[in-house]
Structure 1
Amino acid sequence: MSVKHAQPHFSQSQVTEMMKRLFNLTPSEIHSLPSYEDQNFYVAPAEGGEYALKIMNSEDSENPTLIEVQTYAMSVLHQNGLPVQTVVPTTSGQLMSLEETDCGYGPQRYLVRLFTYLPGTTISKVPLTPQLLYEAGKTAARMEKIFHQLEHPDLGVVQRENFMWSLSNVPLLEGYVHLLDGDPLQEVVKSVIHQYKTSVIPKRSNFRKCINHGDFSDQNILVQPEGDGHKISGILDFGDMNTGCFIHELAIAIMYMMTEHPEPVDVGGPVLAGWESVLPLNKAEKDCLYVLVLSRFCQSLVLARHSVMLHPENEEYLMITSRRGVHTLRQLWELGKEQVEKVWFQSAAQVSDSK
């Protein structure tokens, strides 16, 4: 593992010490929460309340300005009524603290923030009804609309030029396609990248620009029971925020909801209808949605393989989406653009008519 990406490995006793020193809170319960490359803890202090402590990996900790902008964006969403965590300041009034420790790679510095804890379960654990998918699409669009109004002196830091997870940077995957050598899926991935270059890039000038959350996924959306269904109770993890386009966020939302559904192709319509109830698509955006969804599947598959090489001990978590995504990507590719779009746009129209 490169030290650059060093994932934190703080012990519960270190967390207890930090909670006391930084926040004057005495944890009575601590357990770890899942994470891709950071370290997250659920903390219930004796003083009451519930919190999530997030310790960033050493590489992301080197960019406190980016973290500050993410934190600011979350507070704006919260003020606008979206269910988002807010940061709890330290006793000295800071929104983050840089902690130095040795997690096995020599002394490294890790950014630590304490968030309010949002109740609920991830959307991956409940049945994805058309109504819940509609709400997911609508919530993603509301979030993007608010992001569009953001003003901050350092907003430029979210222009992450070569950020691998940005849907603006799909051609960068070519440098990693060799990780699929011997896998029949490699040809599909190469074909999708080619489609992206020939059919998306020429139309990109017509996409409406904005800031993307970038990871509106089945692991980052919380839900709670309501009536005989569920309502969205939280949006997590703003670590992938980047400048992009409205259509990117919609493609990301559709792709991740697909990985959780027994009939993945049926997902696009309700999510699209929810999205368009807030932000109707223009012609170029509509025309590129299919290839953008496939492109996100390719990013997920290829970059998960890359991460497993760096972090073999975390393989189970890293491969969650990717394992399910293989089948869906193949299915979408074999059905083809025309067939998939027909399903998505017709069912979106039906859902919208019933609202």
Structure 2
Amino acid sequence: MDQMVKPNFTLLEALNMVQSHFNLSGVIKELPSYEDQNFYIKINDGKEFVLKIANSEESKEIIEFQNATINYLSQFPNVKVPKIILSKNNEEFSLYSENEDKKYIIRVISYISGTLYADYNQKNSVILNFVGQKLGSFTKNLQNFSHRTAYRKFGWDLANASTLIGEKIIHISDLRKKKVIAKFQKMFESQVIPELAELRSSVIHNDWNIHNIIINKNLNSSDFELGIIDFGDTIFGKTIFELAIAIAYLMLDQEDPLLSAFHVVKGYFEKFSLTNLELKVLFPLICARLCMSVCSSAYQIKIEPENDYLTINEKQAWDLLFKLEKYPLQFAYQTFFDACHPGLSKEESLDLRNQYIGPNLSISYQNPLKIVRGFMQYLYDDEGKRYLDCVTNIPHVGHSNPEIVEVINRQASVLNTNTRYLYDLLVHYSKRLCETLPESLTVCYFVNSGSEANELALRLAYNFTKQRDLIVVKGGYHGNTQGLIDISSYKFDGPRGKGAPSHVHKVPVPDTYRGRYKANDPQAGKKYADYVRETIENLKKEGKKIAGFISESIMGSGGQIVFPKGYLKEVYKYVRDYGGVCIADEVQVGFGRIGTHFWGFQTQNVNPDIVTLGKPMANGHPMGAVITTREIAESFDDGMEFFSSFGGNPVSCAIGLKVLDIIKNQKLQENALVLGKYLLEGIQELKHKFPVIGDVRGLGLFLGIEFVLDRESQEPEDNFAKKLVELMKDEGILISVDGLLHNVIKIKPPLTFNKENAKTFLDSLEKNIMRLIT
């Protein structure tokens, strides 16, 4: 775009202009502007006007086009536009001569009262949807309008984004900023430019920014009115540009910009339909407009350093660009698609589920959620509401993490085969995994889930010891196969359970809150381990050997129970002395979740013989693993081949490697440690305030809150816990209830959880506990 310097008339000069050309006089003040100069005028009878002084380089044809557009739109009451005020000579504008060489086009329009959207203090989903509807109506209003000057070449035509960015990016010196601009410029060139010819065209306002949108609330009702001003950028362009430009500015200062865009698109689509192609290019267009804005500001401010209006949105625009950089293109497209095409209603989906899905596959919450998208630590329902996910520990590094999405796409487009072939990803991942474990654990087997991993661990133990008897912890849970139900007290002692099979031997939960030995007993770990010793002694008397001992490193389904110090060390010694092997089930707590250590068993200062992994290791991609000693692995190589069709496939291994990279590079284990401490301290403070909290426990981002009717009797308050879960869900925070008595709230969010999330959780927890007890 060419250099343009706006007019610079004084208040007195402006007042003289409006008096001599329009017979208006009153109170006058200057308004912020970009390339023209605007003055607010209030005359004696209270009527309000705006004097617009066009840039000296502006042509008469452009002003005529603007006025024609405004006059055309005035027939539609759904969006307010200014009214053109005629001059003394009954003309829509006049010429003002500063000197013989410089003439300015001046005109007066009515002033639209209300609040600029930029200053409006309730930018919620309701108002965003409202603005979207008005914009959709406005777009529809312009579909049959045409003007010869509309077809002008204009630097702020979004079709020219790549050109403008390329010319102006040199005025940005910050390397990080240049990098994000270059990324979105490339996206525009690859995603938009090839499609431009196929996009619908019409006259567009081309600048629905937050300083041009005016909101006026009707004092006598809950209705809103919306007005739009400043038609200086109006052109004939691609229809979708109107929506993209509006969203770019409506996203500013929004905590979740794509969620804000969802509500705008939803409202827009209610009034004006969008094609699938328009939805696909919408995100690149939004980002391109923001890039145009910051690049142009960087250039223009060098020309007019005193014009603050040039940088009015600059900081917010950069903050927004850095936020948008994190979203995958496909995720953004799906967000917009869902806003227009929500699919089955929740009721329809539930009916079909009841018809075709097993009835004992439970659904969370009394009023179930229909989740359609997830991003990092958030989930989104079919109505666009965002939920802070505090309970799903499977997307370890975040739902739809862009780095994970990228590696899935890249590897799936190259190779996905099985372990009967050589490929580097298998051995690279195995090596990286073993480097996080004790030196004795050097052999990996890959499967597709934690359940498969625990099944294989049992095979290894049975094969190595030639025994079947197994010692397990009451309340333990290890998977969904029949073999694992048989060793999982949480299931076989639960509803419709059949109790422990004869080869499975339960020991009490080493629970220092509810169990026999309490947290203040320094020997609690050894005393609970004595139950294992006693079990072994009883088996000796019966002439039975054991295959081993299996336990979660920190109990999950049993109630987020952290074992007392020294428990596993003593247990492992007893088990090994009697010829058994020790299996650590890390399916829930592994990969840095507990903060202090990468693996849960490390908190007990032990080295298992077999470790099982699952849930978080591939961030939700179906993957599990068993890592064991060379000795156990060689005994398993007895002539019967082990093969898992999909276990250890290249895509899974690529994801697994990326998960390890993200944990390390983004310091997520340290994040779990810091935030876990912050949450524990916060919940402990609430425990001092609310006797209904019986115990607070856990490590890192694997925490539990146990609720009781009475701290002395420790009678469980399961109804309170369930009600609390529902109340917090209604506030957009997802947690769940577990534990043997169903009175423990679990907290185990993705490790991308941040300090602000933790504070939000604590505030909601306190507020809703207070609601329930009062």
Shift of 1:351: 5.0
Distance of 1:23 and 1:164 partners within structure 2: 32
Higher mean alpha-carbon deviation, 305-314 vs 189-198, is at 189-198
Shift of 1:167: 1.1
Distance of 1:335 and 1:287 partners within structure 2: 14
Shift of 1:58: 1.2
Contact map agreement 1:177 1:186 (CA 8 A) in 2: yes
The within-5 A match list for 1:6-85 is 6-27=5-26, 29-60=27-58, 63-81=59-77, 82-85=79-82
Q: Name the aligned partner's letter for residue 72 of structure 1.
A: A
Distance of 1:119 and 1:48 partners within structure 2: 12
Distance of 2:116 and 2:175 partners within structure 1: 31
Task: Give structure 1 regions of 4+ aligned residues with deviation exceeding 6 angstroms.
Answer: 227-230
220, 226, 231: which is aligned to 2:224?
231
Quote the residue 2:110 is aligned against. Answer: 116
Shift of 1:301: 0.8
Quote the residue 1:140 is aligned against. Answer: 135
Shift of 1:147: 1.7
Contact map agreement 1:124 1:260 (CA 8 A) in 2: no
The within-5 A match list for 1:264-279 is 264-279=257-272
Quote the residue 1:87 is aligned against. Answer: 84
Quote the residue 1:168 is aligned against. Answer: 159
Higher mean alpha-carbon deviation, 214-223 vs 38-47, is at 38-47
Higher relative contact order, chain-length normalized (CA < 8 Å, sep 6+): 1
TM-score (norm 1): 0.90
Contact map agreement 2:6 2:55 (CA 8 A) in 1: yes
Shift of 1:84: 0.4
77, 93, 98: which is aligned to 2:95?
98
TM-score (norm 2): 0.42
265, 268, 273: which is aligned to 1:280?
273
Distance of 1:282 and 1:332 partners within structure 2: 23
- The structure with the larger Rg is 2
The within-5 A match list for 1:242-261 is 242-261=235-254
Q: Deviations over 1:268-305 (max 9, x none)?
A: 11110111112221121111111111111111110111
Q: Name the aligned partner's letter for residue 23 of structure 1.
A: F
Q: Percent identity of the aligned residues?
A: 27
Quote the residue 1:332 is aligned against. Answer: 324
Shift of 1:196: 1.3
Q: Deviations over 1:174-226 (max 9, x none)?
A: 12221123431112212211221111122222211111101001000001234
Contact map agreement 1:332 1:340 (CA 8 A) in 2: no
Q: Deviations over 1:122-179 (max 9, x none)?
A: 011122121211121122222222222114xxx2322232x22111111212122211
Quote the residue 2:309 is aligned against. Answer: 317
CA RMSD after TM alignment: 2.2
Distance of 2:295 and 2:237 partners within structure 1: 21
SS of residue matched to 2:92 = coil
Change (3 A) 1:194 1:317: same
SS of residue matched to 1:313 = coil
Q: Name the aligned partner's letter for residue 44 of structure 2.
A: A
Contact map agreement 2:31 2:38 (CA 8 A) in 1: yes
Distance of 2:315 and 2:152 partners within structure 1: 28
Q: Name the aligned partner's letter for residue 7 of structure 2.
A: P
Quote the residue 2:759 is aligned against. Answer: none
Change (3 A) 1:107 1:216: same
SS of residue matched to 2:140 = helix
Quote the residue 2:652 is aligned against. Answer: none
Distance of 2:174 and 2:42 partners within structure 1: 48
SS of residue matched to 1:112 = strand
Q: Name the aligned partner's letter for residue 88 of structure 1.
A: I
Distance of 2:4 and 2:317 partners within structure 1: 25
Q: Deviations over 1:221-263 (max 9, x none)?
A: 0012347867243101000011111111111111110014233
Which segments of 5 or more consecutive residues in structure 1 lack a partner in the other structure?
none
Quote the residue 1:201 is aligned against. Answer: 193
User: Is 1:149 paired with 2:144?
Assistant: yes
Looking at secondary structure, tell me which structure has more helix per residue.
1
Contact map agreement 2:5 2:55 (CA 8 A) in 1: yes
Distance of 2:17 and 2:383 partners within structure 1: 49
